Amino acid sequence: MELRRCQTELRAVSNHNISQLTRLLNLARDSLVRHDLKKRLRDADQKVRWFGLSIKSKCLMIRFCVCLYILHFPHSLLESQVSL
């Protein structure tokens, strides 16, 4: 009798674990889909912003990025010039 009671309880716990794992798996999948959509929206937004800029603005942004790169990595620029 005790064995049957324990088996019944174990089945109930096992079923609960399966349902919780299924729920968590679905939540993880939903989260991955949301993350992917957010990334796609960010990428599309950046493309729209970039293509909406004038040529002058794009040149200024590129120069600014190059200046930042030189400030952060001054030796890499010197090494590339020496190897030429």
Q: Does 32 lie in the same domain as 5? A: yes
What integer best gives the mean pLDDT of the chain? 83
Contacts for 63 with CB less than 8 Å, ≥ 6 apart: none
Retrieve residue 39's tokens. Answer: 């990334």
CA distance 25 to 33: 12
Domain count, the chain: 2
The model carries a pTM of 0.51
CA distance 84 to 8: 77
CA distance 25 to 32: 11
- Going by pLDDT thresholds of 50, 70 and 90, the confidence category of residue 57 is confident
Q: Does 4 lie in the same domain as 33? A: yes
Q: Does 46 lie in the same domain as 72? A: no
Q: What is the mean pLDDT of residues 8-21?
A: 97
Q: Does 43 lie in the same domain as 24? A: yes
